[in-house]
Amino acid sequence: MRALKAITISIISLASLGGGFELNRLLTDNYLEENDVEWESVWILGEGQQNICSISHRKEGVKNNIDERGQITRNCFTSWAQNLKKNKESSKAEWIVRARSEDSVLGILGTETFYEDFFNKRRGDSSVSDNSNDDSEKITLQVLKEKCDYKEKTDKDSWINIKCSKPQATT
């Protein structure tokens, strides 16, 4: 009886002191391994209640949390994305990205559908291009560095972090 009690207390303690995250990972399929994430993109819309998330995972591929009708079908894929909050001072939409490399940032731009409206540019209006032969010019790293809060990787943080707020419409 004492052994059963000790095992029960050990399991409860493990779950409540940090092991719960590992137990959750084993019990649900909503968790993606953080080490295998190449990039992650979150659009925070409205009052911050709606987050549209995309992720590129080495094993799972590129995924997002919206269906064909544009409805949000689930929470974001990682705790980083789920814990993002909208800047209280801003009523505008925000786009927050983290990526392992500049090549990964370029990969994000290839999959995003909103950024052209977000930066008030059409594909053909982009003044800087990665490839001059590309008919569908895209917003580049340089544009992101100029218009957004762009933080390079550091020794403490192995991610490139980008945070963009939608510019005010000019009339």
The answer to whether residues 24 and 37 belong to one domain is no
Would you say residue 75 has pLDDT above 80? yes
- Do both 97 and 40 map to the same domain? yes
Q: What is the pLDDT of residue 27?
A: 52
Same domain (yes/no): 5, 43: no
Radius of gyration of the chain (CA): 20
**170 is a domain residue:** no
Distance (Å, whole) CA 60 – CA 33: 10
pLDDT tens-digit map of 148-164: 899 999 888 899 999 98
Q: Exposed e or buried b for every residue in 126-161, given b needs 16+ CB within 10 A?
A: beeeeeeeeeebbbbbebbeeebebeeeeeeeebbb
- 160 contacts 145 by C-beta, under 8 angstroms: no
| Residue-level pLDDT at 33 | 74
pLDDT at 96: 92
| Predicted local confidence at residue 120, as pLDDT | 62
Claim to verify: residue 86 and residue 43 sit in the same structural domain: yes
Note whether 44 and 58 are same-domain residues: yes
Q: What is the pLDDT of residues 20-49, one digit of tens each?
A: 455 555 555 556 777 889 999 998 887 767
For tokens 């209280």, what's the residue?
88
Whether the full predicted model's pTM is greater than 0.85, yes or no, is no
Model confidence pLDDT, tens digit, residues 103-129: 998 888 777 766 666 766 544 443 444
Pairing verdict, β 50-57 and 61-64: antiparallel
Do residues 137 and 82 both lie within one domain?
yes
Here the tokens at position 138 are 């895209």
CA distances from 95 to 9, 15, 39, 118 (A): 44, 34, 13, 9
| Domain, as residue range, for 17 | 1-31
The residue-averaged pLDDT of 43-58 equals 83
Q: What does the mean pLDDT of the chain come to?
A: 75
